[in-house]
A and B are shown apart, each in its own frame.
Chain A
């Protein structure tokens, strides 16, 4: 290969043709443009008139230059120019073992597939050289074995990044003892602690080469809330140039379907690595937000989960509204209001109004007796999940509520009168609060010394008093009791909500207790101190790619272990202690992203970024464009522009047109709304709308192409294909759903899944297409679409699968097929596994299989692209190369025909098994 700067020439000898250019120059110069022939009677008057100058008989120099440029571009185009050709040098001695060390933090997730590919490339090369190799990550705890490189390559596809920061401690231990090896470090580009130490260890063992993508890493800090505004802080690792990003807030809509709820664009000024913005959304919307994410960044760092700190609870105060207006500080609600207002929406009113206003919490401060209907409504509200918080007081102590009988709105029976301790008229000291029990929700809260209780209402001892008590005084009398009622709770503080009976409302403990009771949501994540003694269960976990999955493990994590940032012991996700939900993210409030700094002798490189790029097409296009301009120029020079200009312009534009158009197609609006009848009256192929316009267009065009072919080849006459919105459409009329899996596809709502299950159970079929057969075999989680497929298909009742067996009816439902190519050739197609007891039918080359049609088919061959046609009928995409490609497209169509036949006729062809028996019966 010949290198000209960054461009390599594959066939340099073709460049010899350039020597012809000077000759062409002379030839072209000598040949003037052809004259226009005109009939003109006045020619007799012209005879003898000579031309005044001799310029025009030569082609103008600029026209010559244009033509020479076109020819030179052609020559260069044919010589196979490649930009940034991959250099063959691997570095290191060819017999030295090779260690491939991959960073596997969340920061490696966005381009994980490229990293795997890069590692694959490195290992392939090592395999060609016959080197030993080993693969290690930051979480490799022991010295990896150096084996033949080919074996290592196989384990690559199983690797996945971790959803927390990079740790090098484990690797550093074994890196000290490395033999002489060359290291290739596929870095995630962030400056994690311990990197330099590990690099030192690697360099001691041999040469180190670093592969590092140049793209900046992006992350979101956990959101904070202040003054009702959501503050979003985005980080990036490299500050060069201004950049605009879009942050999306996701959450369920009122129908429970996950949607994008808000969208905010943020600007990184040039040079800045931190961008901040504030988002203002209505409270109703805000309470539904489950996570924020940077659009287009698939990593756990770019997602920050929202927890209770984002929610503002609506707290209704129903207390003393009668009299005593002047005595504000004595009001039973004063301290409550002050404690609640900063972090919650406080409303005051009658109980009925509070219930109607859908308050989360209703506080009754010293309200002894409720009206009959109020009591019924309130009990119903609590049973539906409300939290009723009651405070005692002189009037409750005086009333006979809960006296001797169980009051539904009181956790315990009360004794008449209450008691006063430590007052002027009583014996004994004022009582302090006893340390909280391990079963208490308050467990772990420090108790200030100055909080003493002077008076309280007393609970009547009963069998369940102990179980309902969650805080006591030092003498064992209950201070706070609670009981569950339906889905909700009733909590009673045996003291007043003001400072009359105790110092509790004046202390910080009071606010913390309210937080623990989930009356209050903390404005910030609970700090480590307030997490002490709590225990949390992971309900939703986030993988390194920022995808939320229902957690599989149910072991609880202690509050102390949870810490501030996600780590191996506490993976990122949403934790709950049954009342509260807090999130653990991979970033913290102080996180910054610092790019990795490598020593001067190591230059990070990245094959993926500066990947080899064939320039031939561009050069040919330039040559064509130059020739198109030449048409116009030649016309202009010879004076024909006036008459033939317009048509020449059309030709030139027609030549240039295909260059600009790659996706000029506008798919028709194929929404099914109202088209159900037409879909039911003819066979209609349908695809599931992914929300990605381009993908949907290709699906529509693909099914249109397939319908076309089916119409032409079979007796099926399909209607035009439709796109199906899972949340709305009636699926029952479609025999087949084509579902392209995109990495960013939203998960359908539970209602949509219910419909899908019903559809599959009643004989429908879904063809999943992950479109990734060119990068992976099916089944791995190495590709984003593969992972997404797992998420999407999880709620469906998918039977055990197997690759299409040789004797499956799909291979002969119309054409005889042995492969199912789409735009990609090699992908495996999976469908429902045959029962284990299927036997080979007698005299037939296939087994006697079960009835019915496989409910799903899963593959990654990107069939729609192979089927897709433009409105003109021409194929939309190129498939393969040349004639073999056309053959591949034909086979793709055949697969489509077989598929539709299979869907429509089921196991009809399998019934051939019974033909001998039928014939025999006919004989009798």
Chain B
């Protein structure tokens, strides 16, 4: 099992130290965050495989003798079989974007977007696992239980920034059919690519939520003067003589993108939410959780 403490500690010693720790900080934060959420009813309200009692029904031919509830049957002449409430676990696949663009923060007091995405992802995982669901990442198979949570924490906190990719796009091949997906990204990359992915997911019966995570500076664009803007991977650059003049147009473009995301989500039955890194992290957590509840 690999546990990491942060993206930055790549040295052997740092990793060794984090191995020794029982609970990675990210997981601790995520669990504390998830503890604040009180879960409501979770049963499927139908008989099935589960732990909780649902109903008794008369035994019919084909029921195995082991299935008969002898205590109930002893009170009458009939044989009864005890049925449990169906508690089939749902599979939720998370994608916390970790591309270069996600490493941005406009102020040292703010977390990077990737940080925030990982935190929210892990907190959701904690909630879902507590609810008995199976949670996985796009690059990690789904599982349940505390061990899976530890594994998720390790994977999320040891994510290494992808050097070359400016903007991330989700791996959808590993997402199982009829499951749910949670995409956490700034969605500044190619929208067409996202659209294609969502179309394929819709074909597989996968629904989910899009959480757009943005830095406040990306929203406000409070720059002025002669400026050379560079993308985080240094791959893209744009020079302007008067940055202030660009503000209106930039904000319009950003608005258009949000609109497009929102529409795309609606088209495929997904839900869209925009979160800023200077806002409290509990808000998107609740929203995501309820959105997933609604989707089930």
Contacts and interface: CB of A to CB of B under 8 A. Distances in A.
A375 to B, nearest CB: 102
Interface string B232-250: 1000111111110110011
A640 to B, nearest CB: 7
B232 A42 contact: no
Contacts of A47: 236, 238
A56 to B, nearest CB: 4
A11 to B, nearest CB: 40
User: What are the nearest 6 A-B pairs in CB distance?
Assistant: A639-B225, A41-B101, A56-B241, A35-B226, A43-B229, A46-B238
A795 to B, nearest CB: 75
Contacts of A638: 225-226
B287 interface: no
B241 A57 contact: yes
B250 A41 contact: no
Contacts of B240: 46, 49, 51
Contacts, number: 105
B236 A38 contact: no
B108 to A, nearest CB: 14
Interface in B79-138: 100-102, 104
A638 B104 CA distance: 24
A33 B249 CA distance: 24
A52 B167 contact: no
A38 B226 contact: no
Interface of A: 32-47, 49, 51-54, 56-57, 637-640
Contacts of B166: 41, 44
Interface stretch (B19-27, B65-73, B176-184, B216-224): B216-224
Contact of A38 (B188, B228, B250): B228
A145 B217 CA distance: 94
A40 B216 CA distance: 12
B229, B230, B242 pick with most chain A CB within 10 angstroms: B229
B231 A639 contact: no
B117 to A, nearest CB: 13
Given A38-B228, A51-B242, A45 B104 contact: no
Interface of B: 100-102, 104, 166-167, 186, 188-189, 215, 217-218, 221, 223-232, 236-243, 245-246, 249-250, 253-254, 257
A645 to B, nearest CB: 12
A44 B228 contact: no
A52 B223 CA distance: 16
Given A49-B249, A51-B240, A51-B245, A42 B225 contact: no
Given A36-B227, A49-B246, A52-B245, A42 B221 contact: yes
26 contacts: A35-B226, A36-B225, A36-B228, A38-B228, A39-B104, A39-B232, A40-B104, A40-B218, A41-B104, A41-B186, A41-B188, A41-B231, A42-B218, A42-B229, A44-B166, A45-B253, A46-B238, A46-B246, A49-B240, A49-B250, A51-B240, A51-B245, A52-B242, A56-B241, A638-B225, A639-B223
A765 to B, nearest CB: 67
Nearest to A41: B101
Contacts of A36: 225-228
B257 to A, nearest CB: 7
A45 B188 contact: yes
B230 A56 contact: no
A399 B101 CA distance: 130
B223 A38 contact: yes
B250 A46 contact: yes
B224 to A, nearest CB: 5
A103 B253 CA distance: 90
A35 B253 contact: no
A40 B241 contact: no
A35 B227 contact: yes
A634 to B, nearest CB: 11
Contacts of A637: 225
Contacts of B227: 35-38, 639
B238 A43 contact: yes
Given A49-B249, A639-B227, A44 B242 contact: no
A40 B186 CA distance: 13
Contacts of A45: 188, 250, 253-254, 257
A639 B226 CA distance: 7
A53 B242 contact: yes
B225 A640 contact: yes
Given A36-B228, A39-B230, A51 B241 contact: yes
Contacts of B104: 39-41
Contacts of B186: 41
Contacts of B232: 39, 41
A42 B188 CA distance: 7
Contacts of B249: 49
A40 B226 contact: no
A43 B230 contact: yes
Contacts of A37: 227-228, 230
Contacts of B101: 41
A32 B188 contact: no
B166 to A, nearest CB: 8
Contacts of B254: 42, 45
A35 B231 contact: no
Contacts of A33: 226
B216 to A, nearest CB: 12
B231 A40 contact: yes
A644 to B, nearest CB: 12
B278 to A, nearest CB: 16
A260 to B, nearest CB: 62
A37 B231 CA distance: 11
Given A37-B227, A41-B166, 5 more contacts: A32-B226, A41-B215, A56-B242, A57-B226, A639-B223
Contact of B230 (A40, A49, A51, A57): A40
A56 B188 contact: no
A46 B228 CA distance: 11
A35 B228 CA distance: 6
B17 to A, nearest CB: 30
Given A44-B188, A45-B254, A35 B239 contact: yes
Contacts of B225: 35-36, 637-640
Nearest to B101: A41
Contacts of A32: 226, 241
Contacts of A40: 104, 217-218, 223, 229-231
A86 to B, nearest CB: 52
A32 B250 CA distance: 24
Contacts of B246: 46, 49, 51
Contacts of B218: 40-42
Contacts of B238: 43, 46-47, 49
A251 to B, nearest CB: 71
Contacts of A640: 225
Which residue, of A35, A42, A56, A640, has the highest number of chain B Cβ atoms within 10 A?
A42
Contacts of A34: 226
Contacts of A44: 166-167, 188-189, 231, 236
A718 to B, nearest CB: 53
Contacts of B226: 32-36, 56-57, 638-639
B246 to A, nearest CB: 5
Nearest to A42: B218
A546 B175 CA distance: 110
B250 A42 contact: yes
Contacts of A57: 226, 241
Contacts of A54: 241
A357 B257 CA distance: 107
A609 to B, nearest CB: 52
B231 A43 contact: yes
Contacts of B228: 35-38
Nearest to B215: A41
Contacts of B241: 32, 51, 54, 56-57
B221 to A, nearest CB: 7
A56 B242 CA distance: 7
A639 B188 CA distance: 27
A41 B221 CA distance: 11
